[in-house]
């Protein structure tokens, strides 16, 4: 029985090790996708600020905040956090910030289409992975960590 398990597990393990090489690319693509989604939303808001203010006053029901403050904070979050995320700089912080933006977007709409809600869930899952696992190999966070560790070793 042990030989049979070994004959199945060994090829699986080889494939899994090769698949692990894709993790840095997958992490980068996830970060870039999420960054694009939120940055475009923020960019569209600043392109027509009067409409943005109108939507925050009439359509979005952001709890506990005056509509103008909610518009400024939401737009700033959609413009700043994605840049950090794309660079992989303070990526866990940026992903947490975008998680808040994502949650507020969902709860602020009285009615949300199922397809839109589904996208917000997907974005939330991708953001959760970044919060939990970090930005990955291709990130400023990794570069800064290596640089900091190297300078501490040489001190």
What residues contact 57, with CB distance under 8 A and at least 6 apart?
Answer: 67
pTM of the model: 0.89
pLDDT tens digits for 46-88? 999 999 999 999 999 899 999 999 999 999 999 999 999 999 9
- CB atoms under 10 Å from CB of 17, counted, come to 9
- Closest CA relative to residue 38, chosen from 71, 91, 72, 81: 81
pLDDT tens digits for 84-135? 999 999 999 999 999 999 999 999 987 889 999 999 999 999 999 999 999 9
Residue 71 φ then ψ, to 5°:
-65, -45
Q: Where exactly are the structural domains of the chain?
A: 22-153
Angle between helix 114-133 and helix 91-108 axes, rounded to 10 deg? 160
């Amino acid at each position: 029985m042990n030989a049979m398990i070994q004959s199945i597990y060994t090829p699986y393990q080889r494939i899994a090790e090769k698949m692990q090489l894709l993790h840095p690319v997958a992490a980068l693509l996830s970060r870039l996708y999420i960054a694009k989604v939120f940055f475009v939303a923020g960019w569209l808001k600043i392109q027509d600020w009067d409409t943005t203010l109108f939507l925050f006053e009439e359509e979005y029901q952001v709890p506990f905040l005056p509509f103008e403050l909610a518009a400024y904070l939401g737009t700033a979050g959609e413009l700043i956090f994605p840049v950090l995320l794309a660079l992989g700089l303070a990526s866990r912080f940026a992903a947490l910030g975008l998680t808040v933006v994502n949650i507020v977007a969902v709860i602020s709409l009285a009615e949300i289409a199922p397809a839109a809600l589904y996208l917000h869930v997907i974005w939330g899952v991708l953001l959760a992975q970044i919060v939990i696992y970090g930005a990955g190999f291709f990130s400023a966070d990794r570069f800064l960590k290596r640089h900091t560790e190297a300078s501490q070793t040489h001190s």
